[in-house]
Structure 1
């Protein structure tokens, strides 16, 4: 394996088993670059932000914004899409649905006139017309896979300005500190990004509280967040005895992207989505597997350089989440 020019070789033979050698050595090059560039620089000068405090302590807030009108699905279109799927009723599979539609029952509303299905149809109509995204999501999940496009239509029953995209950076995969919490939400035609950085692991609890206070009961958008980010956050809340946990209605774009773009993408990583769908490739990015090493280098040297690519990586993930959400909404609207 050739070490890129300017990169120092690692002082050990270990590299994460899930990280290809080239990516590892590229990460080492980035680490060396930022250590040199920010030697002797204070964190506050390297990363503009504001200390914020709560009952759990203090952490560091980094805020930015960009022009980006977030896409959305019209509620009436979403309602029509939901009502056109007869498989949302117990006992109706693909075969029965085809027979019913051939007989003239094209929507759930049509089934109000069907002796066998009218009671279930009335119940589901009540749930959909209640506009309760959580209840609608429970119904859809009960009968359809989470990769089904109808899952995205449920976002129409939320206020787009209440949606919060989230992404976290951690010191490992299990029971290790979260060092950065990222959240992005819309305000008019802008995307506002707020990142809560733990400048030391002792600031993790305060960062958790700030982040959870921001998202409160907002609908969440993530990329594998249902399986990783949210359970991880809730586990860390338990660790600190903070009580409660995030139980928000949640739209995970990973299964939706896998299904929608399975013939266009070699894999489902978010950076792959960026490259193949949006024509972007990151420069000087830190692979997620190397975030712990970069952060530990910062803790050891007090050089803020290794934090720069971590913060940028997180911010880029949030930006891509917003673009992917809008792309999926656009495709849903285009499909009628």
Structure 2
């Protein structure tokens, strides 16, 4: 169903209120009330057929092993000298009198497939948005990706509204969205979201390193929740800027979505209006204003998977 353009959010909201005036959450597809150890909230579960493309493990290992700068004390100039002397890979450095110990240490981490430890090693030499970290995500496998996006009542020190998390599998994505029917359900929604993570997961977000993850951690502190959030994290905003900043007017999520995948959200609620739409739902009990928030969040997590696949296909590795 197409409503008014996002350029007319008030008209969109009124149309939604009229359309859903006699509806309840139970009338929406794929939703159900769930219980967590922190109480109940509402969850929507949907599926998206999508091939999440990653890089071949052999290719990833070749790129890692050829970067001598991963070893402490080796910069670009030293790397050139070493390679001209026959030390072309980290395997070769195991025979070097100065760098052999560190090279062996790194190779041991690669042999055990400890993606978290390798990522931490890379981050001591490079920024989190360095292509090697994008490469490394392929070793985790699509089944360990958690594509995550949140909707909130504001930018800081306010509750969440909705948490969306998509898990990769052989058929594409399974998307779970945890909705607060009222603000008392925030702790339950966070608990539902956290139930999807384990020690092998990699969070994939768009500006999540600066916003989504710190926001969730702040709300967990507010509720005195002890569970930690995984440190493995790919923030696709930074990788996208590195890859496409000179090709596009900006690297916003929906700009990438429209330019690369031909997706145009005709009835989307603007992010700045999400709090207003949610509060209208709370004030009126009418679920209409919730509908585009839920769809907006779902589209965001699906687009994250598409962007990651595209980065793996077009990245300069």
Instruction: Tell me the TM-score normalised to structure 1 length.
Output: 0.88
Q: Equivalents in 1 of 2:32, 2:47: separation in Å?
A: 15
Q: Equivalents in 1 of 2:297, 2:167: separation in Å?
A: 14
- Residue 215 of structure 1 and its aligned partner are, at CA, apart by 2.2
Q: Equivalents in 2 of 1:209, 1:270: separation in Å?
A: 27
Matched residue, 2:282:
299
Residue in structure 2 matching 1:269, options 248, 252, 265? 252
Matched residue, 1:207:
189
8 Å Cα contact 2:142-2:169 kept in structure 1: no
8 Å Cα contact 1:47-1:308 kept in structure 2: no
| 1:111 aligned onto 2:96 | no
Matched residue, 1:252:
235
8 Å Cα contact 1:38-1:46 kept in structure 2: no
Residue in structure 1 matching 2:8, options 16, 26, 32? 26
* Other structure's SS at 1:326 match: helix
Q: Bigger CA drift: 104-113 or 266-275?
A: 104-113
Runs of at least 4 residues off by over 4 Å: none
* Other structure's SS at 2:249 match: coil
Matched residue, 2:262:
279
8 Å Cα contact 2:119-2:133 kept in structure 1: yes
* Other structure's SS at 1:330 match: helix
Matched residue, 1:18:
none
Q: Equivalents in 2 of 1:46, 1:157: separation in Å?
A: 38
8 Å Cα contact 1:66-1:192 kept in structure 2: yes
- Residue 47 of structure 1 and its aligned partner are, at CA, apart by 5.0
8 Å Cα contact 2:46-2:175 kept in structure 1: yes
Q: Summarize deviations over 1:155-186 as a string: whole Å, max 9, x none.
A: 13313212111111111111111111101112
Q: Equivalents in 2 of 1:183, 1:306: separation in Å?
A: 21
Residue in structure 2 matching 1:312, options 266, 277, 295? 295
Q: Summarize deviations over 1:38-65 as a string: whole Å, max 9, x none.
A: 1222222145411001222111110111
* Other structure's SS at 2:107 match: helix
Q: Bigger CA drift: 192-201 or 127-136?
A: 127-136
Matched residue, 2:139:
157
Matched residue, 2:215:
232
* Other structure's SS at 1:181 match: strand
Q: Equivalents in 1 of 2:232, 2:291: separation in Å?
A: 32
* Other structure's SS at 2:8 match: helix
Matched residue, 2:113:
131
* Other structure's SS at 2:195 match: helix
Where does structure 1 lack aligned partners over 5 or more consecutive residues?
A: 1-5, 8-21
Q: Equivalents in 2 of 1:46, 1:127: separation in Å?
A: 48
Q: Summarize deviations over 1:70-129 as a string: whole Å, max 9, x none.
A: 111222211111111111111211222222222222211122222222222112211222
| 1:39 aligned onto 2:21 | yes
Q: Equivalents in 1 of 2:198, 2:216: separation in Å?
A: 13
Matched residue, 2:55:
73
- Residue 27 of structure 1 and its aligned partner are, at CA, apart by 2.4
Residue in structure 2 matching 1:242, options 216, 225, 231? 225
- Residue 294 of structure 1 and its aligned partner are, at CA, apart by 0.6
* Other structure's SS at 1:215 match: coil
Q: Summarize deviations over 1:296-321 as a string: whole Å, max 9, x none.
A: 01101111111011001000001100
* Other structure's SS at 1:145 match: coil
* Other structure's SS at 2:175 match: strand
8 Å Cα contact 1:140-1:150 kept in structure 2: yes
- Residue 248 of structure 1 and its aligned partner are, at CA, apart by 4.0
